[in-house]
Amino acid sequence: MGEVFEIIVEPRVRRRRVRRALSGKKRAAALFRVWHGVRDLIEEAERLGDSELVHFLSVAQLLVEEKATDMTIDAAAFAGVDTSLPN
């Protein structure tokens, strides 16, 4: 008869990078990039004619805008940007 082979698979241990908290300016900049991404998604949803998705994304955009504005020192992060789209 043949030999029986036993295969033992050990779980891979994932090494995660330690993520440091972003500084206030970097966090606000990241939120601003998210805001622009959501704005692009809104434009795509409008192009598709999905008004429900446009509404959902507009609410998300307003929440991101509010969070980013609260984090900036002078609250002028959106001063030069047309933020009237969700309204």
pLDDT tens across 11-43, in order? 777 777 777 787 777 887 888 889 899 999 999
pLDDT class for 87, splitting at 50, 70, 90? very low
- 3 within domain boundaries: no
| Domain membership of residue 58 as a residue range | 24-71
What DSSP designation does 85 have? T
Tally of structural domains, the chain? 1
- 63 within domain boundaries: yes
pLDDT tens across 35-71, in order? 899 999 999 999 999 999 999 999 999 999 888 777 7
Q: Which residue has the higher pLDDT, 81 or 7?
A: 7
Longest dimension (CA), the chain: 80
The confidence score (pLDDT) of residue 50 equals 93
